[in-house]
Chain A
Amino acid sequence: MTGILFLEQLLNGLGFGLMLFLLAAGLTLVFGIMDVLNLAHGSLFMSGAYVAAQAHQQSGSFVAAIALAVLVTVVVAALLEVLLMRQLYKRDHLAQVLATFGVILVADDIVKMIWGPSPVMAPTPAALSGPIEIIDGLPYPAYRLVILGAGVLVALALYLLVNHTRVGMRVRAGASDRPMAELMGVHVGRIFNGVFLLGAALAALAGALMGPIVAVQVGMGEQILIPALVVLVIGGIGSVRGAFVAALLVGLVDTIGRAFLPMLLRATLPPATAADLGPLFAEVAMYALMVVVLIFRPSGLFSARA
């Protein structure tokens, strides 16, 4: 019984972790290459979720909806890059925090104007709405399996792109030592544009995939942004491998903490205390993990600049 429950939570944690990875991969590369802290990354996630929900409802095709969500978000990100991000490259982190926090405020209001203040319904594709029995006695929602599969595929593709192509080599060079890469003839500025748009596409994909299992509402970007930043910091800035490891770690710690910490506490503490502390420990787990990692490795697990 507990074994099955554990397996189920393990899969949930991996799914959440993979989605966090899609968000953090873009963040970490943008940060690693251009030293730009983009708080509005969560807004791109929100854009993906809203466009996909609307397109899916109207067209009935989930795949087309995802494609459209990615396309629209990339166009928005291109506008954002040309109009704002370019001015922020040479500025300090504080100016970047300020400006991209401004983008969050603007994005939230624009979404509210288009879709209204209440949450939007993002349907699960009909073919995937039922459960699948993975092993005996463990029915698991088919849609969550799709998320897992998509996450693994994208992570693998990204790994191949970053580690085994010439473009990826240039990206890594830019992330670990930008001036040196430029002296060696890498067009870091142009690479960055590509990376920024790729990050936006991944964020939109995560938003579109997560839509049916979370609430599609204004503010969802701010909510997911903080865990994504935690992943970025734990993994080490500029490292896709670090982001991957940290994302799975955070996803598992968060999901398993939520499921099992309350249970563990109930076994050892009086019920009232356990009921108070359980949710608290579960929520705090990922932040505690980050603080512990930073105490022992002040620049994250796999910093590209180490």
Chain B
Amino acid sequence: MKARFVLPLVLLVALAAFPLVAPLFGMEFYIGFVRRVLIMALAAASLNFILGFGGMVALGHAGFIGVGAYTVVAFADAGVMSAWVLWPMAALVAGLVAALIGTVALRTRGVYFIMTTLAFAQMLYFIAVSLRKYGGDDGYTLPARPELGLGIDLANESTFYWVVLVLVALALGWMHRATRSRFGHALMGIRDNETRMRALGYAVFRIQLVAFAIAGAVAGLAGALLAGGNGFISPGAMHWTQSATLVVMVVIGGLGRSWGGPVGAAVWLLLEEVLKQYSEYWHLPLGLLLIAVALWAPKGLAALSRKKKAVAA
């Protein structure tokens, strides 16, 4: 077996075994936590797809998570609980919203792009706040977990965890392949030199728009899983600081590195969880960490390991 498959496979097996091992150490609580990390890893990876590989600094990604989550809410409120409807629809609706927003936002560049994506995410946030039918500011509690059929009971914590793990692994693998494809290389080419790619005849706007919509759709799926797992969603999940946190995760993990999103999400959420147990002032060390990363490790943690390899070679 090729060496590059070993680590992901070991990780996958370890993650799959976690719900079986955790109860032995009285750590059932952490099954839900690891599930949340997996979902945020997916969301961060989808942002890395456009931010790291596409060079689009989008500061509104939490908006698409929200669109996915509220799509689930809308269907659940209408009595539809089948996961086969909820999850694809969440991805589809979020992807469509992203395509619409991208059509406008991708006409701008630099800080104007940052601000346009932020403005649209703010609009989505206020739409969620104004949806009184779905709880408005207070959020919405889902009546039950989605139903998958096939004899799979998602109400069981471990079962739901495994389903999430499979979905996240598949989606991550798919996005990883996309970055290695012709499309992915064109996307990176645009990031590195837009003018040259345009001169070579690439449809820059269309490629960026497709990438933006894909990232939105994957984030929507993450939102659907998040809402389904917690049984609750509120507009707070779409606040602009959440979008900033996603950017932070990607940069910490490593911009444009295939493991950047997942590494960043895991490191950030783990630190948050640990620090919360020691102090109510857990923002402060995280803030200092951010400043340190921005100053001294701008390429993220995933890049640190690669640097070592380069030195050894």
Contact = CB atoms under 8 A, between A and B. Distances in A.
A and B, one complex?
yes
Interface stretch (B17-25, B74-82, B116-124, B195-203): B116-124
A291 interface: yes
Interface in B212-270: 240-241, 244, 247-248, 251, 255
Nearest to A99: B294
A134 B250 CA distance: 54
A276 B129 CA distance: 10
A94 B120 contact: no
A263 interface: no
Given A229-B118, A284-B123, A105 B130 contact: no
Contacts of B10: none
B59 to A, nearest CB: 7
Contacts of A97: 57, 59, 114, 244, 247
B247 A283 contact: no
Interface residues of B, number: 43
Interface string A258-297: 0000000000000000001101100110011011001100
A288 B112 CA distance: 14
B298 A106 contact: no
Contact of A103 (B115, B131, B291, B293): B291
A287 B57 contact: no
Interface in B80-113: 104, 107-108, 110-112
A95 B252 CA distance: 11
Contacts of B294: 88, 91, 95-96, 98-99, 102
Interface in A216-257: 222, 226, 229-230, 233, 237
A105 B114 contact: no
A101 B293 CA distance: 12
B170 interface: no
A1 interface: no
B283 A105 contact: yes
B284 interface: yes
A105 B110 CA distance: 25
Contacts of A277: 130
A93 B56 CA distance: 12
B244 A283 contact: no
A94 B251 contact: yes
Interface string A60-102: 0000000000000000000000001001100101111111011
B281 interface: yes
Interface string A145-164: 00000000000000000000
Nearest to A278: B130
A99 B122 contact: no
Given A37-B111, A93-B114, A298-B108, A291 B120 contact: yes
A102 B116 contact: no
B132 A99 contact: no
B268 to A, nearest CB: 12
A110 B284 contact: yes
B312 interface: no
A112 interface: yes
B251 A106 contact: no
B122 A105 contact: no
B127 interface: yes
Task: Identify whether the interface residues of B are mostly helix, strand, loop, or mixed.
Answer: helix
B123 A288 contact: yes
Contacts of B59: 97
Contact of B130 (A222, A283, A288, A294): A283
Given A280-B126, A298-B107, A106 B284 contact: yes
A294 B116 contact: yes
Interface in B266-310: 281-284, 286-291, 293-295, 298
Contacts of B286: 102, 105
Nearest to B119: A287
A113 interface: yes
A11 interface: no
Nearest to B279: A109
A104 interface: yes
A123 B119 CA distance: 33
Nearest to A31: B111
A124 interface: no
A280 to B, nearest CB: 4
Contact of A106 (B118, B122, B132, B287): B287
Contact of A105 (B111, B126, B255, B290): B290
A29 to B, nearest CB: 15
Contacts of B282: 109
A124 B248 CA distance: 39
8 contacts: A39-B244, A91-B294, A96-B294, A97-B59, A109-B282, A276-B131, A283-B130, A287-B122
List the 3 shortest-distance A-B pairs measured between CB atoms, nearest first.
Answer: A102-B290, A105-B287, A99-B294
Given A98-B293, A102-B294, A288-B123, 14 more contacts: A37-B111, A91-B298, A93-B111, A94-B247, A94-B255, A95-B294, A95-B298, A98-B247, A101-B244, A105-B286, A105-B290, A233-B111, A280-B127, A290-B119
Interface of B: 57, 59, 104, 107-108, 110-112, 114-116, 118-120, 122-123, 126-127, 129-132, 240-241, 244, 247-248, 251, 255, 281-284, 286-291, 293-295, 298
